Amino acid sequence: MSSEVIDLELGKKSIFKDKVMELLPDGGNLNLCLTCGLCSSGCPATGLEDLDPRKFLRMASLGMDDEILSSPWAWMCTMCQRCLYACPMKIDIPSLIAHVRKNWPKDKQPRGIRGSCDMALKHDTCSAMGASEEDWSFVVEDVAEEVRETQKGFETLQAPMDKEGAYFFLNQNSREPVTEPDEMVPLWKILHLAEADWTYGTKGWAAENYCMFCQDSDAWEKIVRIKAKAVDDLGCKVWLNTE
Amino acid sequence: MEHRFEIKSIIEYYAKWIRQGKLKVNSDWNKDLKIKFTTQDPCQVVRKSLGDPIAEDLRFVITSVVGEENFVDMTPNRSNNYCCGGGGGFLQSGFPEARRYYGKRKFDQIMETGATYCITPCHNCHAQIHDLSEHYEGGYHSVHLWTLICLSLGILGENERTYLGPDLAGVGL
């Protein structure tokens, strides 16, 4: 015996997925799902909030906009692209997720992410932990000075700041200068031994960008522009992304 | 967006500098210790941007530093690797239970290798994999590559060993 027919009441809503498809190259292939399940079987977020990538896409296809836009699952997917990598139809579910995040009102987005984005916009350092240019320069020089004084073989160790024309512009996650500055030392030693021509910048040095995670395009772009300008202003050839 | 520079991962340069002989690393320190290492391929660096070539550089650096026989890969790996659950802002999103449920798959993968250390050349991976070990009591450690490169070079200072276990705390001091 067949079960009761579910009326999806299609047509009554504007379908979120269609809007996203207009924005993605090739429409993100969002209409090509074969429901094979490779995405879901390889997704560590499968099962959270009773959802998985295939189900999420299916809900979007069925116009269940309110449900997909209100579930916290979009914040539990890390947009790691494992689903896209495994998908035989190359369906861009991560971009769908990104647009769902983008459509969350700013004041409803997870505070930790939103707050880190807002913090990064306060200084040209782009530090999500709020480190200023002065804090950053002080910590770097203070730690370097201590190494020069106490560690044999590193009496000439440098952690250059704003060195014009250096080949590498090195970025650094804020966690190091703010909470565990000694973790920067091994990296400096490696650069020292390799005789790398490198520099940090007082501006744009922070490696993180939480505005990308909350899909705030304007803030995301603003931060990337500050960072790119910092590298170009010093005339560096390579923006070296650290571990 | 216009710019005049190239973007590179430092992992590529670690590999280059070892090949050029600028970083004279070796794995002698681990010949008798036989401490086992695995690595997390960060999604952002491998699958999402630089692909398998950077994963190969990563393995070249690791095996040069800890010894070929002391490196155990997770399955799956490289571009096909699972995300650890630290990316996309998950660490800051305020869903710790969901994040650890997500990370359980990574935890099991790491435990399966039998490694005492998981090398995590990404901040989010480092924090998440460290947290997973503590939460699920895995007993493994989570370390950056820079720590091991300096350990192998005999230049890792006393204050630079926060993430090493007791087995390596005094090596090369």
Q: Domain limits of chain A?
A: 16-104, 112-240
- Tens digits of residue pLDDT in B6-29: 999 999 999 999 999 999 999 999
Provide the residue type at B56 as one letter: E
The pTM of the full predicted model, rounded to 2 decimals, is 0.95
pLDDT at A1 over 60: no
- Helix-, strand-, coil-residue percentages of chain A, each rounded to 5: 50, 5, 45
CA distance A78 to B87: 5
Query: Is residue A230 within 8 angstroms of chain B, CB to CB?
Result: no
Q: Do A193 and B85 touch (CB under 8 A)?
A: no
Question: Which residue, among B79, B129, B125, B89, has the nearest Cα to A74 in the 3D structure?
Answer: B89
Q: Give me the helices (H) in A50-125, please.
A: 53-61, 65-70, 82-86, 93-102, 111-120
Is residue B28 within 8 Å of B69, Cβ to Cβ? no
CA distance A229 to A206: 13
Query: Is residue A200 within 8 angstroms of chain B, CB to CB?
Result: no
Task: Confirm whether the ipTM is greater than 0.85.
Answer: yes
- Tens digits of residue pLDDT in B77-120: 999 999 999 999 999 999 999 999 999 999 999 999 999 999 99
Q: Has domain B27-151 been given CATH number 3.40.50? A: yes
Nearest residue, CB atoms, A78 vs list B90, B146, B147:
B90
Question: Which residue, among A130, A93, A81, A96, has the nearest Cα to A23 in the 3D structure?
Answer: A96
Choosing among B18, B54, B102, which should be mutated to test the A contact, i.e. which has the most A CBs within 10 A?
Answer: B102
Q: Do B89 and A75 touch (CB under 8 A)?
A: yes
- Tens digits of residue pLDDT in A24-71: 999 999 999 999 999 999 999 999 999 999 999 999 999 999 999 999
**Which of chain B's residues have a Cβ under 8 Å away from the Cβ of A49?**
98
Instruction: Looking at the structure, give the CATH architecture of the domain made up of residues A16-104.
Output: Orthogonal Bundle (1.10)
Query: Is residue B37 within 8 angstroms of chain A, CB to CB?
Result: no
Query: Is residue A239 within 8 angstroms of chain B, CB to CB?
Result: yes
Q: Do B43 and A207 touch (CB under 8 A)?
A: no
B81 to chain A: closest CA residue: A82
What does residue B35 show for φ and ψ, rounded to 5 degrees? -75, 135
